[in-house]
Structure 1
Amino acid sequence: MTVRSRIYVHPLFWVVAMTAVATGYFRQLLIVVTVVLIHEAGHAFAALFFKWRLERIELFPFGGVIHTNAYGNAPFYQEVIVAIAGPLQHIWLLFIPFSLLNILPGFTVELYFFWLGCNASLLCFNLLPIHPLDGGRLLYAVLSLFQNYSRATKRYVILSSFFCIIAVSTAVLVKVSSLHMWLMALFLIYTHLDLWKKRPYAFMQFLIERAGKQDPSLYRVNQKTVAVHTPLSEACCEIHRGIKTCFYVEVDSRNIPLWDHQVAKAYMSTDGNKRVIGDLLHPPTETRYNTQ
């Protein structure tokens, strides 16, 4: 798959683009597109550095969204670095002097101030703790440090929705009349509804990816003691995003270790939803993880 085939441009983007051309704001549109592309390139290069597979990059009138194959299985530090790699691009863009940009044909002082405002607003906006913004991704990563996938996801949706309501309410109170802003608000509301609706599907994607994650680079390990008759479905709900989980199965006076990828793989197999964790007990062969 080529880079070009990975880029998806939302139809609303073309509507806004044609409106900008018709109203004489074509140069401002070019600035916004340039800044958004650099922002998303920051995410993309960080993801590729950690050998994530890029599935697609979506471009909207007000920004972009990068989709990867991580599904919450990347280490915490990678999640954080990939999330902040986009907003960090605006910092160096803000320090580009007018004398350098002035060499571009038709680049005026007014456009320079628009350039500064565009970078500053996108930097602040993307750091809001709202899904699917970069601040939301950081919030999700932090919640996942202390809670399992299911609880972290529920609390993330609730907190993100709360901050989204505050942001939209603030826009109403200050009487924001920008069509661009209201399209963004509608998009955020839709993404939250879609996120809640697709939680079961996202959880299955998470488990499928986790079943193949035996990489010791997932350095942090969470330990969980479970009874031998614990259903695999219940055990899978205790797995964390970005953290390896070691289950200690209580058998008589012993605690036998099982790793989360073993549990996830068994659950994804035939009749996995009817099996218990005791069905997987065997002499452990994978002991290279640090459980300290």
Structure 2
Amino acid sequence: MKFWGLTIKVNPLFLLVFFLFFLLDMMAEALVAFGLVIIHEFAHLIMAYSAGYKVGRIEIFPFGGMAEYSGFLEMEPWQEIRVALAGPVFNLFFALLLYLFLYSGLLKTNHYLLLLLQYNLLIGIGNLIPALPLDGGRVLRAFLVRSRGIKRGNELAIKISKYFAISGILVGIIVLSLGKANLWFLFFFFFIYGMINKEEKQLLYYILQYLSRREDFNRGLKIRELSGQVVDGSLPVKEAIYYLNPVKYSLFYILDLNSNIIGIISESRLLSSYFGQKDKELLMKDII
């Protein structure tokens, strides 16, 4: 469905969870959860718009959503962190305000307000878990990409995310075996693990998309910090692209067998060589 030009897609898994709530006679809980997930995603959207980005599509999952942004959000880690944190911060701030109103007596406690308080806390805290595709995982990935580069940063973020998901599944199984059933907790971490595997399968596509858009991003900048790296001339171009600094413009100083500098390759030259040549076995010394 479309709302103000924004395409909103509801994932079938969300509909399944909604149906389970219906069978369990928990429609009030389902409506509160659905409403808060939508508002949570709009908090991301508002922050993205304020930073100059547009959102074309949002897909709603049982525990949050995923948005597709136009522009170059992935090129600017600090902006991505701001956008990622907007959702959980909204939920936690809303929960704090609600608690203060209830505690002070300005609002009379009832079942629906307590549901609102509880679900805001669950969505806010749950999304801060540092595991993809949760908001905490996006923050983690942005930090790692900034410090380790696009490929190694993403790979490490996926590895850490898997540790958290597997740990959550194990805790859920242990709790279940002790007779303290919490199937939602277990379902949540199984869902996260499945989404991490999906992210891992799409990683190469994500990296190539990032690299293909990087030249357009560079053209829009009037000034940028410089990053210099010294590499062996026998390093394949297809490997060198992963050493691009995500927040600086990269220059590569090419060495021969005697460790003498035989040339300098700019980031633009590297990317045009990679995407413009059919021979993907090119070495750095071949494109000087």
Same-fold status (TM-score > 0.5)? yes
**Runs of 5+ in structure 1 lacking a partner?**
103-107, 282-292
User: How do residues 114-263 of structure 1 correspond to structure 2 at under 5 angstroms?
Assistant: 114-175=115-176, 177-214=181-218, 215-216=220-221, 219-250=224-255, 257-263=264-270
Distance 1:135 1:73 in 2: 15
Residue type of the partner of 1:177? A
Equivalenced residues, count: 276
Which of 263, 269, 276 is equivalent to 1:269? 276
CA shift, 1:119, in A, is 0.9
Q: Quick one: which amino acid aligns to residue 81 of structure 1? A: R
Distance in 2 (CA, whole Å) between partners of 1:259 and 1:58 is 38
User: 1:70 touches 1:209 (CA, 8 Å); kept in 2?
Assistant: no
Give 1:230 deviation, angstroms: 3.7
Distance 1:84 1:195, change over 3 A: same
Deviations 1:260-280 (A, max 9, x none): 344223211132524344455
- Residue 109 of structure 1: CA displacement? 0.9
Deviation at 1:210, TM superposition (A): 1.6
Instruction: Give the distance between the partners of 1:217 and 1:134, measured in 2 at CA.
Output: 31
Structure 2 vs 1, CA of residues 90 and 38 (structure 1 numbering), >3 Å: closer, same or farther? same
* Aligned partners of 2:224 and 2:249 also within 8 Å: yes
**Residue correspondence of structure 1 range 95-106 to structure 2 within 5 A:** 95-96=97-98, 97-98=101-102
Larger RCO (CA within 8 A; separation ≥ 6): 1
Calculate the aligned-residue CA RMSD, in Å.
3.0
> d(CA) in 2 for partners of 1:30 and 1:49?
29
State the shift of 1:78 in Å.
0.7
CA shift at 1:84, angstroms?
A: 0.8
| SS of 1:170 mapped into structure 2 | helix
Structure 2-normalised TM-score? 0.82
The CA distance in 1 between the partners of 2:160 and 2:79, in whole Å, is 22
Helix, strand or coil for the counterpart of 2:230?
A: strand
Equivalent position of 1:285 in the other structure: none
Distance (whole Å) between structure 2 residues aligned to residue 272 and residue 51 of structure 1: 38
Tell me what 1:8 maps to: 9
TM-score, normalising length: structure 1: 0.81
Distance (whole Å) between structure 2 residues aligned to residue 247 and residue 88 of structure 1: 40
Alignment identity in percent? 24
Question: Is this contact kept in 1: 2:237–2:283, CA < 8 A?
Answer: yes
The answer to whether the Cα contact below 8 Å between 2:130 and 2:139 also exists between their aligned partners in 1 is: yes
CA deviation string 1:184-233 (max 9, x = no partner)? 22221112222222222222112112232214389554321234454321
* Structure 2: gaps spanning 5 or more residues: none
Change in 2 beyond 3 A, CA 1:101/1:35? farther
Distance 1:17 1:184 in 2: 14
Cα pair 1:213 1:261 within 8 Å, conserved:
no
The CA distance in 1 between the partners of 2:181 and 2:25, in whole Å, is: 19
Q: Going by fraction, where is helix more abundant, 1 or 2?
A: 2
The equivalent of 2:78 in structure 1 is 77
